[in-house]
Amino acid sequence: MSGRLFHYNTLGTLMKGGFDGAFTFEEVLKNGGIGIGTVDHLDGELVILDHHGYRFDVTGQIHEVHLEDTTPYAAVIDFIPENKTTLNEKINKEILEEKMLGQFSSKNVFQAVKLHGRFSKIKCRSVQKQEKPYPDLVDVARDQAEFTAEDVTGTLVGIYTPALFGTISASGFHLHFISDDHHFGGHVLAFEINEPLITWQTIDTVEQKFPVGDPTFMKTDFDYSSVLEDIAEAE
């Protein structure tokens, strides 16, 4: 059991408007076979698949990121599917999460999850590009755009975060989606799928990166007092 998750800055700081891109995708994609996150100025939802980065903007359009583009927040891993299972039933997001918790090696470590299949229904969201002064993400998420698709084949990628790390990541499951035809995706809100094949990997090391080259991040006095509630509402 091993796997190294690269965590670029924190969801906590993103929640408090830390939207400036501080890490290049050249660095991120080197370490990320699959992953989630966003891009500079919070200009959409990021899906990383096969070491390529795709962002879905607030209109639902997809754009492949360039190596010189930057991200303020991403969680990525060079995924090795150590474990797999097929759930022999029709499931939704809540059932997937409950079933996976029963099969994980532990709820106390991070786990990386990948699921490819045909979804009878899937609902995703994306967020609007922001300009300074940046608002909190919880306020941006209240105006999020939501998209629903039916009978779409694609890949769900995501991270399970143990409770103790709920201020820097989203406690529990954080899932993003990209369709095989690259026409649909984003941050996953809900889905239904029949008999999915799920793969996952236990993470024994998290490499937490801080944007020490970003003067705004370094000097900002963030107020994290509501961060757990904000993550619960926005994610």
Give residues in contact with a second copy (CB under 8 A): 1-2, 10, 12-13, 105-110, 163-168, 202-210, 212, 217-222, 224, 227
Taking the least distance from each CB to a second copy, the nearer of 37 and 117 is 37
Least distance in Å: CB of 16 to a second copy?
9
Nearer to a second copy, 88 or 225 (CB): 225
Nearest approach in angstroms of CB 123 to a second copy is 30
Residues found in the chain = 235
Q: Shortest approach of a second copy to residue 20 CB, angstroms?
A: 13
With respect to a second copy, which residue has the nearer C-beta, 106 or 194?
106
Question: For residues 108 and 102, what is the distance between their CA atoms, to the nearest angstrom?
Answer: 13
Q: Smallest distance from the beta carbon of 29 to a second copy, in angstroms? A: 18
Residues 6+ apart with CB under 8 A from 146: 123, 124, 125, 189
Helix (H, G, I), strand (E, B) or coil at 84: strand
Tell me the residue ranges of DSSP E strands in 32-134.
34-38, 45-49, 52-56, 62-64, 70-71, 74-77, 83-86, 90-92, 111-126
Instruction: Please give the Cα distance from 54 to 28 (Å, whole number).
Output: 13
